[in-house]
A and B are shown apart, each in its own frame.
Chain A
Amino acid sequence: MRVSRPAFTTLACALFLSACSTGTQDVDTGSAEGRVHGSITFQTWNLRAAFPDYFEGLIAEFEKKHEGTHVKWVDQPAEAYPDKISADAAGGTLPDVVNVSPDLVAPLAKARLALDLDRAAPQYRERYLPAAWKSLQIPGMKGTYAFPWYLNTGPMFYNKRLFREAGLDPAKPPRSYDELFDAALTMAKRSDGRIATLAATPTIEDFGRYGVRLMNPKGTAFTFNEPKGVELLERYKELYDAGALDSQVLTATPEQAGRKFMQQSVAMNPGSALDLAKFKKDAPSLYRNIGVADAPNNTGRPNMYVQGLMVNAAGENKATAVAFARFVTNAKNQMDFAHETTVFPSTKGTLDDPYFTDDKDGDDETRIRVSSAKSLDKAVNYTPVLLSDDMKTVLQNAVARVMRGDTSPKAALDSAVEECNRLLKLN
């Protein structure tokens, strides 16, 4: 099942494009004229279980504000969300307002199913952080295809006890990739390869933070096989051979990496502010030794993840959909959502609120929230919008081949870039 996934996704995309390119050619993706009235469907991505009250309140308020509107809220589980969306796009059953991440909006925009906000609702552009707005644009296409919604960024957690035992200074976590690699090699040497520093192979975000250029500006070809990218992989290979990466690193999911960190067999792991509470509850002995740092980077710009709200350009009631998407992503409602959980609003000025700048109360969670919010100032979304899930798998497999020593970093990245470019053309 798992193995055939990339092939499936490719096929699904092909099917879905062929299925809707005929029907959606005449869809107007540039305007959303009309009265705010009638009913729409709003789809979120795995938020119902944790925040039912917030969303029900939001919808009630919108319906009160705009007499005669009705919003039906559906929520989809975490897994296989891209498959769900591509099936709905092919079947013409896509909801009016859809929660998307930038990589999900790209195929929908190409299939003329996403409303271009630069044409349909340009007046809202100035209300959002420029980096967030920009992350929902697609290289090679004009326009912005979703409202920026909540942002996420997270610190790097490290295990102070393991740092101390390896003779590293627990007060000085690595800040750049060079420092990270040095620390990892020391850790491996001092512990005889028993304690690994990282439980994950480099992802596309690591390439970005390392300073590798990932894609050409026109969005026609990937470029992560440039010398800098090769250098990153060479360094990682060195770590892998020294035992500084966990032994199961080649197949580990983020969830498994987190578990290794909680078992204290891995010294560093990226996470979010919510993880602290989890450590406290599930791994108390780790919690006593936890250290928090910014994720290492060479560019001075941390990574952020963006969620957006896309308006279905083929929907029946686009005016209401735009009004609702704007309503959910306005400053007040994003601020309220940020109080519900550790996410960050994408509206201009909202991050200056004392909630994100004042860490005087001494609470762990507040401290991390404030430092994360500060880092968002300069953060960018490194993951190229056009990098689909199957391309991520291509990169991951190339990295795994290098780690096992089957091929050289240069050759692996060259072939990965070639394969990604081929998949890019397919769409």
Chain B
Amino acid sequence: MRPTATAPAPHAGDGHRDEETAHRARPRGRRRRGAGFSDGRKLPVWQLLLRYALLLAVLALMIGPFLWQLSTSLKGPGEDIYSYPPQLLPEDWTWDAYSGVARIIPVWDYALNSLTVAVASVLTNLLGASLAGYALARLRFRGRKAALVVFVMAMLVPLESIIIAQFTLMRELGLNNTLTGVVLPGAVGAMNVLLMRNAFSHLPYEVEEAALVDGANVWQRFWRIALPSVKGTLAVVAIFAFMAAWDDFLWPLIVLSDPDNFTLTVGLNYLHGTFADNQRLVAAGTIIAVVPLIVMFACLQRYFFRGVSEGAVKG
């Protein structure tokens, strides 16, 4: 259904993009080895080396702090964790910090709360954003442009400026101190609606016209034709929604009062002691919080990159 077979135009983008386009062109084929232009020309060796050197440098910059946290969380007592330059390999491996985290806070309960919130947020965002996005992209109605502007404007409002009003609203609804209250304000993100709208509006309209001629109504066109063509963007929305819900700190903190209902990010904050900080526990907590995100991304990675370019103009 998607016009994937069209040959991508050769362009001098970075190696990563080239490879990605090559990958898209033959989804079932083997990933091409080495970097090169998509029309088959080979890169000069020095350029190749330079690219890899740069990529490695960025990699080190991105995952360096993460590795430091990982190594800190595994270091045994008596090891210098603040030595400079940092020593990444612990001499005395131990899982103590991880069991310490579980001893101090009910980390599994918090993780379950977080997971509930994140999964609910993913579902509501997928449903809400795709419905709204389809309406904005395909349906003709009065005030369509204005609605679009409202969504763009909504993205510009910082959460902090409306958080108290949001809280009083939740209180009026009797949803404060519930996980529903945590999910509700982020249930359909403006950004996700715009992503979906973009994806839908780039589908060739002729396909839907054909369906219309065959007698498909708008629900059938949405469900059978449009939605299956934007799986990539759906994956992007899913990841964004998951990440936003999983990482959010301020809103869950404000809306939840009872420590039993806390989400993981709020609960992990307890590891910062009032009188003394145990860096090992904090590091272990960080790793616990990040691992689900990594797993989620690893699972959806294939769709994710497809989705990122889906909204872009295609040949």
Contact = CB atoms under 8 A, between A and B. Distances in A.
A341 B275 contact: yes
Interface stretch (B1-9, B43-51, B123-131, B156-164): B156-164
Interface in A228-271: 255, 259, 262-263, 265
Interface string A72-102: 0011111110011011101111010000000
Nearest to A94: B257
Which 3 pairs between the two chains have the least Cβ-Cβ distance? A77-B269, A8-B160, A262-B82
A48 interface: yes
Contacts of B250: 80, 83
B82 A282 contact: yes
A12 B164 contact: yes
B183 to A, nearest CB: 18
B164 A90 contact: yes
Interface string B91-106: 0000000000000110
B78 interface: yes
B84 interface: yes
B80 A285 contact: yes
B259 interface: yes
Interface stretch (A119-127, A138-146, A272-280, A318-326): A272-280
Nearest to B272: A78
Contacts of A46: 269-270, 272-274
Given A83-B253, A91-B164, A281-B78, 20 more contacts: A12-B160, A15-B164, A16-B164, A75-B259, A77-B266, A77-B267, A78-B272, A79-B272, A80-B254, A83-B250, A83-B254, A84-B253, A84-B254, A87-B164, A88-B257, A91-B168, A262-B82, A263-B84, A272-B276, A282-B279
A284 B80 contact: yes
Interface string A1-17: 10011011001100110
B271 interface: yes
Contact of B161 (A11, A19, A343): A11
Interface in B247-270: 249-250, 253-254, 257-259, 266-267, 269-270
11 contacts: A11-B160, A46-B270, A49-B270, A50-B274, A77-B253, A87-B164, A87-B254, A88-B257, A90-B167, A93-B257, A255-B277
Given A90-B168, A259-B82, A282-B80, A74 B259 contact: yes
Contact of B81 (A8, A282, A343): A282
B161 A283 contact: no
A45 interface: yes
A277 B277 CA distance: 11
Interface in B268-299: 269-279
Contacts of B270: 46, 48-49, 75, 77-78
Contacts of B38: none
A48 B259 contact: yes
A265 B84 contact: yes
A87 B166 CA distance: 10
B274 A78 contact: yes
Contact of B275 (A77, A265, A274): A274
Contacts of B42: none
Contacts of A341: 275
A255 B282 CA distance: 13
Interface string A274-305: 11011001111100000000000000000000
B185 to A, nearest CB: 13
A46 B257 CA distance: 13
A414 to B, nearest CB: 29
B26 interface: no
Contacts of B273: 46, 49-50
B165 interface: yes
Contacts of B77: 281
A237 to B, nearest CB: 28
A342 interface: yes
Name the residue among B82, B104, B270 with the largest chain A CB count within 10 angstroms: B82
A394 interface: no
Interface of B: 77-78, 80-84, 104-105, 158, 160-161, 163-165, 167-168, 171, 176, 249-250, 253-254, 257-259, 266-267, 269-279
Contact of A50 (B168, B249, B258, B275): B275
Nearest to B255: A87
B177 to A, nearest CB: 8
Given A4-B160, A11-B161, A277-B276, A283 B257 contact: no
A272 B176 CA distance: 38
Contact of B163 (A87, A88, A284): A87
Contacts of B277: 255, 278
Contact of B164 (A19, A77, A259, A283): A19
A96 to B, nearest CB: 13
A157 B44 CA distance: 57
Nearest to B81: A282
B176 A343 contact: no
A49 to B, nearest CB: 4
A91 B167 contact: yes
Contacts of B258: 74
A20 to B, nearest CB: 10
A79 B270 CA distance: 9
A11 B157 CA distance: 14
A47 interface: yes
Contacts of B176: 91, 93
Name the residue among B165, B171, B266, B274 with the largest chain A CB count within 10 angstroms: B274
A285 B87 CA distance: 15
B120 to A, nearest CB: 22
Contacts of A86: 164
B78 to A, nearest CB: 6
A16 B279 CA distance: 35
A145 to B, nearest CB: 22
Name the residue among B81, B165, B254, B276 with the largest chain A CB count within 10 angstroms: B276
Nearest to A76: B253
B259 to A, nearest CB: 6
Contacts of A342: 275
B276 A278 contact: yes
A87 B188 CA distance: 23
A388 to B, nearest CB: 16
A49 B105 CA distance: 7
A90 B254 CA distance: 11
Nearest to B270: A49
A16 B165 CA distance: 9
Contacts of A47: 274
Given A74-B259, A83-B250, A15 B165 contact: yes
Name the residue among B164, B168, B257 with the largest chain A CB count within 10 angstroms: B164
A75 B82 CA distance: 30
